[in-house]
Structure 1
Amino acid sequence: MRPLAAPTKPSLVFIHGFLGSPDEWRGVVDALAERFSCLLLTLPECDHQGQPLRTWDTLIAACERRWSALLPARFTLVGYSLGGRIAQALCQNWLDRLEAVVLEGAHPGLTTELERRQRLQQDHQWSHCLRTTPLTEALVLWYRQPVFAGLSAQQRADLVKLRSGLDGERMADLLLAASLAGQPDYWTALAQLPVPLLYISGALDTKFCALAEQLAKHRPGLDRQQLPDSGHNCHHNAPKPYAALLAHFLTQVSHD
Protein backbone atom coordinates (compact mmCIF):
# COMPACT_ATOMS: atom_id res chain seq x y z
CA MET A 1 0.00 0.00 0.00
CA ARG A 2 1.59 3.24 -1.14
CA PRO A 3 0.40 6.66 0.04
CA LEU A 4 1.25 9.58 -2.21
CA ALA A 5 0.84 13.35 -1.79
CA ALA A 6 -0.58 15.28 1.14
CA PRO A 7 -3.26 13.86 3.47
CA THR A 8 -5.14 17.18 3.58
CA LYS A 9 -6.29 16.77 -0.03
CA PRO A 10 -9.35 14.73 -1.06
CA SER A 11 -8.39 11.07 -0.99
CA LEU A 12 -8.55 8.56 -3.83
CA VAL A 13 -7.99 4.84 -3.23
CA PHE A 14 -7.03 2.70 -6.24
CA ILE A 15 -7.33 -1.09 -6.68
CA HIS A 16 -5.50 -2.66 -9.62
CA GLY A 17 -6.66 -5.61 -11.71
CA PHE A 18 -5.64 -9.25 -12.15
CA LEU A 19 -1.97 -9.57 -13.20
CA GLY A 20 -1.53 -5.87 -12.43
CA SER A 21 0.31 -3.85 -9.80
CA PRO A 22 -0.14 -0.51 -8.01
CA ASP A 23 2.55 1.11 -10.17
CA GLU A 24 0.31 0.83 -13.22
CA TRP A 25 -1.76 3.71 -11.81
CA ARG A 26 1.35 5.91 -11.84
CA GLY A 27 0.43 7.94 -14.93
CA VAL A 28 -3.01 8.71 -13.52
CA VAL A 29 -1.69 9.53 -10.06
CA ASP A 30 1.02 11.83 -11.43
CA ALA A 31 -1.65 13.81 -13.26
CA LEU A 32 -3.81 14.09 -10.11
CA ALA A 33 -1.15 14.53 -7.42
CA GLU A 34 -1.49 18.31 -7.08
CA ARG A 35 -5.19 18.08 -6.21
CA PHE A 36 -5.65 14.66 -4.60
CA SER A 37 -4.01 12.35 -2.11
CA CYS A 38 -3.75 8.91 -3.71
CA LEU A 39 -3.44 5.52 -2.05
CA LEU A 40 -2.49 2.52 -4.20
CA LEU A 41 -3.58 -0.85 -2.85
CA THR A 42 -1.94 -4.19 -3.58
CA LEU A 43 -4.09 -7.29 -4.03
CA PRO A 44 -3.30 -10.03 -1.51
CA GLU A 45 -2.01 -13.33 -2.87
CA CYS A 46 -2.77 -15.32 0.30
CA ASP A 47 -4.84 -15.13 3.47
CA HIS A 48 -3.58 -13.90 6.86
CA GLN A 49 -2.19 -17.38 7.61
CA GLY A 50 -0.24 -17.48 4.35
CA GLN A 51 -2.60 -19.96 2.72
CA PRO A 52 -3.68 -19.60 -0.92
CA LEU A 53 -6.96 -17.85 -1.52
CA ARG A 54 -9.58 -20.37 -2.66
CA THR A 55 -12.90 -18.53 -2.98
CA TRP A 56 -14.38 -15.09 -3.59
CA ASP A 57 -15.27 -14.79 0.09
CA THR A 58 -11.70 -15.55 1.21
CA LEU A 59 -10.36 -13.01 -1.28
CA ILE A 60 -12.68 -10.27 -0.05
CA ALA A 61 -11.94 -11.12 3.61
CA ALA A 62 -8.19 -10.93 2.91
CA CYS A 63 -8.58 -7.56 1.19
CA GLU A 64 -10.66 -6.11 4.02
CA ARG A 65 -8.29 -7.42 6.68
CA ARG A 66 -5.27 -5.94 4.90
CA TRP A 67 -6.73 -2.57 3.94
CA SER A 68 -9.51 -1.35 6.24
CA ALA A 69 -7.50 0.07 9.12
CA LEU A 70 -5.17 1.98 6.78
CA LEU A 71 -7.77 3.76 4.70
CA PRO A 72 -8.48 7.51 5.03
CA ALA A 73 -11.49 8.68 7.03
CA ARG A 74 -13.19 9.72 3.77
CA PHE A 75 -12.25 8.63 0.25
CA THR A 76 -13.32 7.83 -3.29
CA LEU A 77 -12.77 4.20 -4.30
CA VAL A 78 -11.45 3.50 -7.82
CA GLY A 79 -11.20 -0.07 -9.12
CA TYR A 80 -10.14 -1.56 -12.46
CA SER A 81 -11.47 -4.90 -13.74
CA LEU A 82 -10.95 -7.39 -10.88
CA GLY A 83 -10.13 -4.40 -8.67
CA GLY A 84 -13.49 -2.91 -9.62
CA ARG A 85 -15.25 -6.16 -8.78
CA ILE A 86 -13.56 -6.17 -5.38
CA ALA A 87 -14.55 -2.52 -4.93
CA GLN A 88 -18.19 -3.50 -5.48
CA ALA A 89 -17.93 -5.97 -2.61
CA LEU A 90 -16.06 -3.75 -0.19
CA CYS A 91 -17.94 -0.51 -0.77
CA GLN A 92 -20.92 -2.05 1.02
CA ASN A 93 -18.74 -2.34 4.15
CA TRP A 94 -17.27 1.15 3.83
CA LEU A 95 -20.37 3.23 3.10
CA ASP A 96 -19.81 5.55 6.05
CA ARG A 97 -16.37 6.45 4.62
CA LEU A 98 -17.16 6.61 0.91
CA GLU A 99 -17.56 9.83 -1.03
CA ALA A 100 -17.90 8.17 -4.44
CA VAL A 101 -17.10 4.99 -6.38
CA VAL A 102 -15.41 4.71 -9.79
CA LEU A 103 -15.50 1.43 -11.71
CA GLU A 104 -13.38 0.80 -14.80
CA GLY A 105 -14.24 -2.22 -16.92
CA ALA A 106 -15.70 -4.05 -13.91
CA HIS A 107 -18.41 -6.72 -14.20
CA PRO A 108 -21.36 -6.45 -11.75
CA GLY A 109 -21.86 -10.21 -11.83
CA LEU A 110 -23.30 -13.12 -13.76
CA THR A 111 -27.02 -13.69 -13.37
CA THR A 112 -27.62 -17.30 -14.50
CA GLU A 113 -26.25 -20.67 -13.44
CA LEU A 114 -25.36 -21.49 -17.05
CA GLU A 115 -23.16 -18.37 -17.25
CA ARG A 116 -21.51 -19.31 -13.97
CA ARG A 117 -20.77 -22.88 -15.09
CA GLN A 118 -19.34 -21.69 -18.38
CA ARG A 119 -17.16 -19.07 -16.69
CA LEU A 120 -15.87 -21.53 -14.08
CA GLN A 121 -14.89 -23.98 -16.80
CA GLN A 122 -13.11 -21.20 -18.67
CA ASP A 123 -11.24 -20.06 -15.55
CA HIS A 124 -10.14 -23.61 -14.74
CA GLN A 125 -8.68 -23.81 -18.25
CA TRP A 126 -6.80 -20.55 -17.77
CA SER A 127 -5.61 -21.64 -14.34
CA HIS A 128 -4.24 -24.87 -15.84
CA CYS A 129 -2.56 -22.83 -18.58
CA LEU A 130 -0.86 -20.56 -16.02
CA ARG A 131 0.40 -23.58 -14.05
CA THR A 132 1.65 -25.68 -16.96
CA THR A 133 2.70 -23.27 -19.73
CA PRO A 134 5.81 -21.06 -19.64
CA LEU A 135 4.53 -17.76 -18.31
CA THR A 136 5.46 -15.68 -21.34
CA GLU A 137 3.55 -18.07 -23.60
CA ALA A 138 0.56 -18.07 -21.24
CA LEU A 139 0.53 -14.26 -21.21
CA VAL A 140 0.64 -14.09 -25.00
CA LEU A 141 -2.47 -16.30 -25.06
CA TRP A 142 -4.12 -14.26 -22.28
CA TYR A 143 -3.82 -10.98 -24.18
CA ARG A 144 -5.29 -12.52 -27.32
CA GLN A 145 -8.68 -12.78 -25.60
CA PRO A 146 -11.49 -10.75 -27.24
CA VAL A 147 -11.68 -8.32 -24.30
CA PHE A 148 -8.15 -7.14 -25.21
CA ALA A 149 -8.91 -6.76 -28.93
CA GLY A 150 -8.30 -3.01 -28.66
CA LEU A 151 -4.59 -3.53 -27.92
CA SER A 152 -2.04 -3.03 -30.66
CA ALA A 153 0.64 -5.65 -31.24
CA GLN A 154 3.14 -3.40 -29.46
CA GLN A 155 0.83 -2.85 -26.49
CA ARG A 156 0.37 -6.61 -26.15
CA ALA A 157 4.11 -7.16 -26.27
CA ASP A 158 4.66 -4.45 -23.66
CA LEU A 159 2.12 -6.02 -21.29
CA VAL A 160 3.61 -9.49 -21.71
CA LYS A 161 7.04 -8.08 -20.86
CA LEU A 162 5.64 -6.13 -17.90
CA ARG A 163 3.98 -9.25 -16.43
CA SER A 164 6.77 -11.71 -17.20
CA GLY A 165 8.14 -11.65 -13.64
CA LEU A 166 4.90 -12.86 -12.04
CA ASP A 167 4.52 -16.23 -10.33
CA GLY A 168 2.28 -18.39 -12.53
CA GLU A 169 1.20 -20.64 -9.65
CA ARG A 170 0.11 -17.71 -7.48
CA MET A 171 -1.70 -16.11 -10.39
CA ALA A 172 -3.49 -19.41 -11.09
CA ASP A 173 -4.68 -19.55 -7.47
CA LEU A 174 -5.83 -15.93 -7.54
CA LEU A 175 -7.64 -16.43 -10.84
CA LEU A 176 -9.79 -19.20 -9.39
CA ALA A 177 -10.44 -17.39 -6.11
CA ALA A 178 -11.44 -14.28 -8.04
CA SER A 179 -13.51 -16.10 -10.67
CA LEU A 180 -16.56 -14.22 -11.85
CA ALA A 181 -18.36 -17.55 -11.41
CA GLY A 182 -18.00 -17.21 -7.62
CA GLN A 183 -18.70 -13.49 -7.38
CA PRO A 184 -22.16 -12.49 -6.11
CA ASP A 185 -24.53 -10.52 -8.30
CA TYR A 186 -23.93 -6.83 -7.49
CA TRP A 187 -26.40 -5.33 -9.99
CA THR A 188 -29.00 -4.46 -7.36
CA ALA A 189 -26.42 -3.24 -4.84
CA LEU A 190 -24.93 -0.88 -7.43
CA ALA A 191 -28.37 0.37 -8.40
CA GLN A 192 -29.01 1.24 -4.75
CA LEU A 193 -25.52 2.51 -3.86
CA PRO A 194 -26.12 5.78 -1.97
CA VAL A 195 -23.01 7.59 -3.25
CA PRO A 196 -22.14 8.93 -6.73
CA LEU A 197 -21.03 6.24 -9.17
CA LEU A 198 -18.89 6.67 -12.30
CA TYR A 199 -18.38 3.84 -14.80
CA ILE A 200 -15.47 4.19 -17.25
CA SER A 201 -14.92 1.98 -20.28
CA GLY A 202 -12.74 2.18 -23.36
CA ALA A 203 -14.63 2.89 -26.57
CA LEU A 204 -12.89 -0.13 -28.15
CA ASP A 205 -14.04 -2.41 -25.33
CA THR A 206 -17.48 -3.26 -26.70
CA LYS A 207 -18.28 -5.85 -24.00
CA PHE A 208 -17.89 -3.42 -21.10
CA CYS A 209 -19.45 -0.50 -22.95
CA ALA A 210 -22.53 -2.72 -23.28
CA LEU A 211 -22.35 -3.63 -19.57
CA ALA A 212 -22.20 0.07 -18.69
CA GLU A 213 -25.30 0.69 -20.79
CA GLN A 214 -27.08 -2.18 -19.04
CA LEU A 215 -26.04 -0.88 -15.62
CA ALA A 216 -27.44 2.54 -16.51
CA LYS A 217 -30.87 0.92 -16.94
CA HIS A 218 -30.64 -0.39 -13.36
CA ARG A 219 -29.28 2.89 -11.98
CA PRO A 220 -30.76 6.01 -13.59
CA GLY A 221 -28.31 8.87 -13.48
CA LEU A 222 -25.23 6.66 -13.65
CA ASP A 223 -22.28 8.70 -14.90
CA ARG A 224 -20.99 6.69 -17.88
CA GLN A 225 -17.84 7.75 -19.69
CA GLN A 226 -16.00 6.20 -22.63
CA LEU A 227 -12.39 6.95 -23.47
CA PRO A 228 -11.83 7.19 -27.25
CA ASP A 229 -9.23 4.88 -28.80
CA SER A 230 -8.88 2.89 -25.56
CA GLY A 231 -9.56 -0.77 -24.86
CA HIS A 232 -10.23 -2.59 -21.60
CA ASN A 233 -7.34 -1.05 -19.62
CA CYS A 234 -8.16 2.65 -20.01
CA HIS A 235 -5.91 3.99 -17.27
CA HIS A 236 -2.92 2.23 -18.84
CA ASN A 237 -3.77 3.23 -22.42
CA ALA A 238 -4.61 6.88 -21.72
CA PRO A 239 -3.61 7.98 -18.21
CA LYS A 240 -3.95 11.73 -18.73
CA PRO A 241 -7.44 11.67 -20.30
CA TYR A 242 -8.43 9.14 -17.65
CA ALA A 243 -7.19 11.47 -14.90
CA ALA A 244 -9.12 14.34 -16.48
CA LEU A 245 -12.32 12.26 -16.38
CA LEU A 246 -11.76 11.47 -12.71
CA ALA A 247 -11.02 15.08 -11.81
CA HIS A 248 -14.13 16.34 -13.63
CA PHE A 249 -16.35 13.75 -11.96
CA LEU A 250 -14.95 14.47 -8.50
CA THR A 251 -15.35 18.22 -8.99
CA GLN A 252 -19.01 17.67 -9.82
CA VAL A 253 -19.44 15.39 -6.80
CA SER A 254 -17.89 17.91 -4.42
CA HIS A 255 -20.20 20.68 -5.73
CA ASP A 256 -23.41 18.65 -5.39
Structure 2
Amino acid sequence: MNTMTLVFLHGLLGTKSDWRKIIENLPHFRCVSLDLPFHGEHKFTEANNFEQCADFISHQIKSAVGNQPYFLVGYSLGGRIALYYALQSQCEKGNLQGLILEGANLGLTCDEARKVRWKNDEFWAQRFITESAESVLNDWYQQPVFAHLNAQQRADLIEKRVTNCGKNIGKMLEATSLAKQPYLGDKVRESTLPVYYLAGEKDQKFRQMAVQEKLNLQLIANAGHNAHLENPVEFSQKLTALLRNHKIKKTDNL
Protein backbone atom coordinates (compact mmCIF):
# COMPACT_ATOMS: atom_id res chain seq x y z
CA MET A 1 0.00 0.00 0.00
CA ASN A 2 1.22 3.51 -0.79
CA THR A 3 2.26 5.66 2.14
CA MET A 4 -0.60 8.07 2.68
CA THR A 5 -1.56 10.69 5.25
CA LEU A 6 -5.20 10.98 6.26
CA VAL A 7 -6.36 14.35 7.58
CA PHE A 8 -9.58 14.17 9.62
CA LEU A 9 -12.13 16.97 10.16
CA HIS A 10 -14.80 16.55 12.84
CA GLY A 11 -18.40 17.76 12.77
CA LEU A 12 -20.20 20.57 14.58
CA LEU A 13 -19.78 20.28 18.38
CA GLY A 14 -16.92 17.80 17.96
CA THR A 15 -13.16 17.93 18.41
CA LYS A 16 -10.20 16.19 16.85
CA SER A 17 -10.43 13.51 19.57
CA ASP A 18 -13.64 12.23 17.95
CA TRP A 19 -11.46 10.33 15.47
CA ARG A 20 -9.37 8.53 18.12
CA LYS A 21 -10.95 5.09 17.67
CA ILE A 22 -10.70 5.35 13.88
CA ILE A 23 -7.04 6.31 14.04
CA GLU A 24 -6.32 3.40 16.39
CA ASN A 25 -7.65 1.08 13.66
CA LEU A 26 -5.48 2.62 10.93
CA PRO A 27 -1.87 1.85 11.91
CA HIS A 28 -0.90 1.54 8.23
CA PHE A 29 -1.65 5.23 7.57
CA ARG A 30 -0.20 8.41 8.99
CA CYS A 31 -3.21 10.12 10.57
CA VAL A 32 -3.68 13.78 11.48
CA SER A 33 -6.83 15.05 13.18
CA LEU A 34 -7.54 18.79 13.26
CA ASP A 35 -9.79 21.01 15.35
CA LEU A 36 -12.00 23.35 13.31
CA PRO A 37 -12.40 27.04 14.20
CA PHE A 38 -14.55 27.58 17.32
CA HIS A 39 -13.82 23.99 18.43
CA GLY A 40 -11.43 22.21 20.78
CA GLU A 41 -7.97 23.78 20.89
CA HIS A 42 -9.23 26.44 18.48
CA LYS A 43 -12.36 27.29 20.44
CA PHE A 44 -11.40 30.97 20.36
CA THR A 45 -10.23 31.01 16.74
CA GLU A 46 -12.91 32.75 14.72
CA ALA A 47 -13.97 32.31 11.11
CA ASN A 48 -16.78 34.25 9.45
CA ASN A 49 -17.48 32.11 6.39
CA PHE A 50 -16.49 29.02 4.42
CA GLU A 51 -13.54 30.72 2.73
CA GLN A 52 -11.99 31.62 6.07
CA CYS A 53 -12.54 28.06 7.34
CA ALA A 54 -10.87 26.69 4.20
CA ASP A 55 -7.95 29.06 4.61
CA PHE A 56 -7.60 28.02 8.25
CA ILE A 57 -7.43 24.30 7.49
CA SER A 58 -5.12 24.98 4.54
CA HIS A 59 -2.56 26.47 6.92
CA GLN A 60 -3.09 23.65 9.42
CA ILE A 61 -2.58 20.99 6.75
CA LYS A 62 0.49 22.69 5.36
CA SER A 63 2.01 22.76 8.84
CA ALA A 64 1.15 19.14 9.64
CA VAL A 65 1.58 17.47 6.24
CA GLY A 66 3.80 19.69 4.11
CA ASN A 67 3.63 18.55 0.50
CA GLN A 68 3.18 14.86 1.28
CA PRO A 69 0.20 13.13 -0.39
CA TYR A 70 -2.94 13.14 1.74
CA PHE A 71 -6.64 12.37 1.70
CA LEU A 72 -9.08 14.63 3.53
CA VAL A 73 -11.73 12.82 5.61
CA GLY A 74 -14.62 14.96 6.82
CA TYR A 75 -17.74 14.22 8.87
CA SER A 76 -20.93 16.31 8.53
CA LEU A 77 -19.82 19.96 8.88
CA GLY A 78 -16.21 18.83 8.54
CA GLY A 79 -17.16 17.14 5.29
CA ARG A 80 -18.85 20.28 4.00
CA ILE A 81 -15.75 22.33 4.80
CA ALA A 82 -13.59 19.67 3.14
CA LEU A 83 -15.75 19.90 0.01
CA TYR A 84 -15.49 23.67 -0.09
CA TYR A 85 -11.76 23.57 0.54
CA ALA A 86 -11.12 21.08 -2.26
CA LEU A 87 -13.56 22.26 -4.93
CA GLN A 88 -14.43 25.91 -4.29
CA SER A 89 -11.80 27.78 -2.30
CA GLN A 90 -8.80 29.59 -3.73
CA CYS A 91 -6.37 28.46 -1.02
CA GLU A 92 -3.42 26.19 -1.68
CA LYS A 93 -4.23 22.52 -1.29
CA GLY A 94 -0.81 20.94 -1.52
CA ASN A 95 -0.70 17.30 -2.60
CA LEU A 96 -4.40 16.54 -2.00
CA GLN A 97 -5.30 13.11 -3.39
CA GLY A 98 -9.04 12.95 -2.74
CA LEU A 99 -11.95 13.31 -0.33
CA ILE A 100 -13.80 10.87 1.89
CA LEU A 101 -17.05 12.37 3.12
CA GLU A 102 -19.27 11.03 5.89
CA GLY A 103 -22.84 12.29 6.19
CA ALA A 104 -21.99 15.60 4.49
CA ASN A 105 -24.45 17.73 2.53
CA LEU A 106 -23.39 18.87 -0.95
CA GLY A 107 -25.46 22.06 -0.68
CA LEU A 108 -28.92 23.37 -1.49
CA THR A 109 -30.12 24.06 -5.01
CA CYS A 110 -32.86 26.68 -4.57
CA ASP A 111 -33.24 30.02 -2.81
CA GLU A 112 -36.37 28.98 -0.92
CA ALA A 113 -34.59 26.01 0.64
CA ARG A 114 -31.71 28.30 1.64
CA LYS A 115 -34.14 30.72 3.33
CA VAL A 116 -35.73 27.89 5.29
CA ARG A 117 -32.35 26.51 6.30
CA TRP A 118 -31.03 29.92 7.37
CA LYS A 119 -34.07 30.45 9.59
CA ASN A 120 -33.50 27.05 11.19
CA ASP A 121 -29.76 27.53 11.68
CA GLU A 122 -30.20 31.02 13.09
CA PHE A 123 -32.78 29.65 15.54
CA TRP A 124 -30.28 27.08 16.82
CA ALA A 125 -27.39 29.55 16.76
CA GLN A 126 -29.24 31.93 19.05
CA ARG A 127 -30.09 29.10 21.41
CA PHE A 128 -26.43 28.05 21.59
CA ILE A 129 -25.45 31.66 22.25
CA THR A 130 -28.04 32.45 24.91
CA GLU A 131 -29.04 29.21 26.66
CA SER A 132 -27.29 26.61 28.81
CA ALA A 133 -25.40 23.94 26.94
CA GLU A 134 -27.36 21.10 28.55
CA SER A 135 -30.72 22.59 27.55
CA VAL A 136 -29.79 23.16 23.92
CA LEU A 137 -28.01 19.84 23.46
CA ASN A 138 -30.93 17.91 24.91
CA ASP A 139 -33.13 19.32 22.15
CA TRP A 140 -30.41 19.23 19.47
CA TYR A 141 -30.12 15.47 19.71
CA GLN A 142 -33.88 15.06 19.34
CA GLN A 143 -33.69 16.16 15.70
CA PRO A 144 -34.78 13.60 13.05
CA VAL A 145 -31.23 12.87 11.89
CA PHE A 146 -30.52 11.50 15.39
CA ALA A 147 -33.79 9.57 15.67
CA HIS A 148 -32.02 6.19 15.76
CA LEU A 149 -30.24 7.03 19.04
CA ASN A 150 -31.55 5.58 22.29
CA ALA A 151 -31.76 7.53 25.53
CA GLN A 152 -28.37 6.36 26.79
CA GLN A 153 -26.64 7.23 23.51
CA ARG A 154 -28.17 10.72 23.62
CA ALA A 155 -27.04 11.18 27.23
CA ASP A 156 -23.51 10.07 26.33
CA LEU A 157 -23.33 12.53 23.44
CA ILE A 158 -24.59 15.40 25.59
CA GLU A 159 -21.97 14.62 28.23
CA LYS A 160 -19.29 14.44 25.53
CA ARG A 161 -20.27 17.75 23.88
CA VAL A 162 -21.20 19.98 26.79
CA THR A 163 -17.72 21.39 27.46
CA ASN A 164 -17.30 22.46 23.84
CA CYS A 165 -20.73 24.07 23.64
CA GLY A 166 -21.70 27.74 23.91
CA LYS A 167 -21.43 30.99 21.99
CA ASN A 168 -18.64 29.48 19.89
CA ILE A 169 -21.00 26.91 18.41
CA GLY A 170 -23.63 29.53 17.66
CA LYS A 171 -21.03 31.59 15.80
CA MET A 172 -19.88 28.55 13.81
CA LEU A 173 -23.46 27.75 12.84
CA GLU A 174 -23.93 31.27 11.54
CA ALA A 175 -20.62 31.23 9.66
CA THR A 176 -21.11 27.85 8.01
CA SER A 177 -24.86 27.52 7.66
CA LEU A 178 -25.87 25.23 4.81
CA ALA A 179 -27.76 28.27 3.54
CA LYS A 180 -24.38 29.92 2.84
CA GLN A 181 -22.71 26.90 1.28
CA PRO A 182 -22.64 26.83 -2.54
CA TYR A 183 -24.15 23.76 -4.15
CA LEU A 184 -21.17 21.54 -5.01
CA GLY A 185 -22.83 18.45 -6.46
CA ASP A 186 -21.97 19.34 -10.05
CA LYS A 187 -18.34 20.00 -9.12
CA VAL A 188 -18.14 16.64 -7.33
CA ARG A 189 -19.29 14.82 -10.46
CA GLU A 190 -17.03 16.85 -12.76
CA SER A 191 -13.92 16.69 -10.58
CA THR A 192 -10.96 14.48 -11.44
CA LEU A 193 -10.31 14.31 -7.70
CA PRO A 194 -11.68 11.05 -6.21
CA VAL A 195 -14.64 11.66 -3.89
CA TYR A 196 -15.94 8.77 -1.79
CA TYR A 197 -19.00 8.84 0.45
CA LEU A 198 -19.68 6.91 3.66
CA ALA A 199 -22.99 6.82 5.51
CA GLY A 200 -24.54 4.77 8.29
CA GLU A 201 -27.17 2.33 7.11
CA LYS A 202 -29.66 3.95 9.54
CA ASP A 203 -28.96 7.45 8.21
CA GLN A 204 -31.88 7.58 5.78
CA LYS A 205 -31.50 11.28 4.98
CA PHE A 206 -27.91 11.07 3.77
CA ARG A 207 -28.28 7.63 2.18
CA GLN A 208 -31.04 9.09 0.03
CA MET A 209 -29.00 12.20 -0.78
CA ALA A 210 -26.00 10.09 -1.82
CA VAL A 211 -28.16 8.05 -4.20
CA GLN A 212 -29.79 11.15 -5.67
CA GLU A 213 -26.38 12.78 -6.18
CA LYS A 214 -24.97 9.58 -7.73
CA LEU A 215 -22.12 9.45 -5.21
CA ASN A 216 -19.69 6.59 -4.65
CA LEU A 217 -21.57 5.34 -1.56
CA GLN A 218 -20.40 2.84 1.04
CA LEU A 219 -22.76 1.93 3.90
CA ILE A 220 -21.64 1.34 7.50
CA ALA A 221 -23.69 -1.36 9.26
CA ASN A 222 -25.42 -0.75 12.59
CA ALA A 223 -24.77 2.98 12.47
CA GLY A 224 -26.67 6.22 11.95
CA HIS A 225 -25.49 9.73 11.11
CA ASN A 226 -22.28 9.55 13.18
CA ALA A 227 -21.10 6.25 11.70
CA HIS A 228 -17.44 6.60 12.67
CA LEU A 229 -18.42 6.92 16.33
CA GLU A 230 -21.08 4.19 16.29
CA ASN A 231 -19.16 1.55 14.32
CA PRO A 232 -15.48 2.55 14.21
CA VAL A 233 -14.18 -0.90 13.24
CA GLU A 234 -16.27 -1.22 10.08
CA PHE A 235 -15.77 2.45 9.24
CA SER A 236 -12.00 1.92 9.38
CA GLN A 237 -12.25 -1.22 7.27
CA LYS A 238 -14.32 0.51 4.59
CA LEU A 239 -11.99 3.49 4.56
CA THR A 240 -8.95 1.22 4.18
CA ALA A 241 -10.60 -0.70 1.33
CA LEU A 242 -11.34 2.53 -0.54
CA LEU A 243 -7.71 3.63 -0.33
CA ARG A 244 -6.00 0.27 -0.82
CA ASN A 245 -5.48 0.62 -4.57
CA HIS A 246 -5.07 4.36 -4.73
CA LYS A 247 -2.04 5.46 -6.70
CA ILE A 248 -0.41 8.62 -5.43
CA LYS A 249 -0.50 11.47 -7.91
CA LYS A 250 1.66 14.54 -7.52
CA THR A 251 -0.21 17.83 -7.70
CA ASP A 252 0.85 21.45 -7.97
CA ASN A 253 -1.31 23.28 -5.43
CA LEU A 254 -4.66 22.57 -7.09
Normalising TM by the smaller chain, what interval? 0.7 to 0.9
Could you tell me which residue of structure 2 aligns to residue 241 of structure 1?
234
Could you tell me which residue of structure 2 aligns to residue 63 of structure 1?
57
Q: 2:36 aligns with which of 39, 43, 46?
A: 43
Q: Does the C-alpha gap of structure 1 residues 172 and 40 become closer, same or farther in structure 2, counting only changes over 3 Å?
A: same
Query: Is 1:84 aligned to 2:83, yes or no?
Result: no
User: Would the aligned equivalents of 1:15 and 1:40 in 2 still touch at CA under 8 Å?
Assistant: yes
User: Would the aligned equivalents of 2:221 and 2:231 in 1 still touch at CA under 8 Å?
Assistant: no
Letter in 1 for 2:53: L
Q: Does the C-alpha gap of structure 1 residues 74 and 9 become closer, same or farther in structure 2, counting only changes over 3 Å?
A: same
Looking at structure 2, the residues matched to 165 and 229 of structure 1 have their Cα atoms a distance apart, in angstroms, of: 28
Query: Is 1:74 aligned to 2:69, yes or no?
Result: yes
Query: Is 1:19 aligned to 2:13, yes or no?
Result: yes
Hey, which bits of structure 1, 4+ residues long, moved more than 2 A?
Answer: 50-72, 92-96, 252-255
TM-score (norm 1): 0.87
Letter in 2 for 1:115: A
Which range is displaced more, 52-61 or 112-121?
Answer: 52-61
1:52, CA displacement in angstroms? 3.7
Could you tell me which residue of structure 2 aligns to residue 152 of structure 1?
150
Looking at structure 2, the residues matched to 21 and 154 of structure 1 have their Cα atoms a distance apart, in angstroms, of: 21
Looking at structure 1, the residues matched to 71 and 142 of structure 2 have their Cα atoms a distance apart, in angstroms, of: 32
Which range is displaced more, 153-162 or 88-97?
Answer: 88-97
1:169-226, Cα deviation, whole Å (9 max, x unpaired) = 111101110100001111111111212221001111111001110121xxxxx42111
**Does the residue aligned with 1:45 lie in a helix, a strand or coil?**
coil
Looking at structure 2, the residues matched to 90 and 57 of structure 1 have their Cα atoms a distance apart, in angstroms, of: 8
User: Would the aligned equivalents of 1:56 and 1:179 in 2 still touch at CA under 8 Å?
Assistant: no
Looking at structure 1, the residues matched to 216 and 166 of structure 2 have their Cα atoms a distance apart, in angstroms, of: 37
User: Would the aligned equivalents of 1:77 and 1:100 in 2 still touch at CA under 8 Å?
Assistant: yes
1:162, CA displacement in angstroms? 0.4
Could you tell me which residue of structure 2 aligns to residue 212 of structure 1?
210
User: Would the aligned equivalents of 1:196 and 1:253 in 2 still touch at CA under 8 Å?
Assistant: no
Could you tell me which residue of structure 1 aligns to residue 196 of structure 2?
198
Letter in 1 for 2:212: Q
**Does the residue aligned with 2:122 lie in a helix, a strand or coil?**
helix
Unaligned segments of structure 2, at least 5 residues? 249-254
Letter in 2 for 1:68: K
User: Would the aligned equivalents of 2:58 and 2:93 in 1 still touch at CA under 8 Å?
Assistant: no
User: Would the aligned equivalents of 1:136 and 1:160 in 2 still touch at CA under 8 Å?
Assistant: yes
Identity of aligned residues (%): 34
Q: Superposition RMSD on alpha carbons, in Å?
A: 2.2
**Does the residue aligned with 2:179 lie in a helix, a strand or coil?**
coil
Could you tell me which residue of structure 2 aligns to residue 4 of structure 1?
none
User: Would the aligned equivalents of 1:120 and 1:179 in 2 still touch at CA under 8 Å?
Assistant: yes
Which range is displaced more, 154-163 or 223-232?
Answer: 223-232
Looking at structure 2, the residues matched to 240 and 136 of structure 1 have their Cα atoms a distance apart, in angstroms, of: 30
Letter in 1 for 2:118: L
Q: Does the C-alpha gap of structure 1 residues 211 and 115 become closer, same or farther in structure 2, counting only changes over 3 Å?
A: same
Could you tell me which residue of structure 2 aligns to residue 5 of structure 1?
none
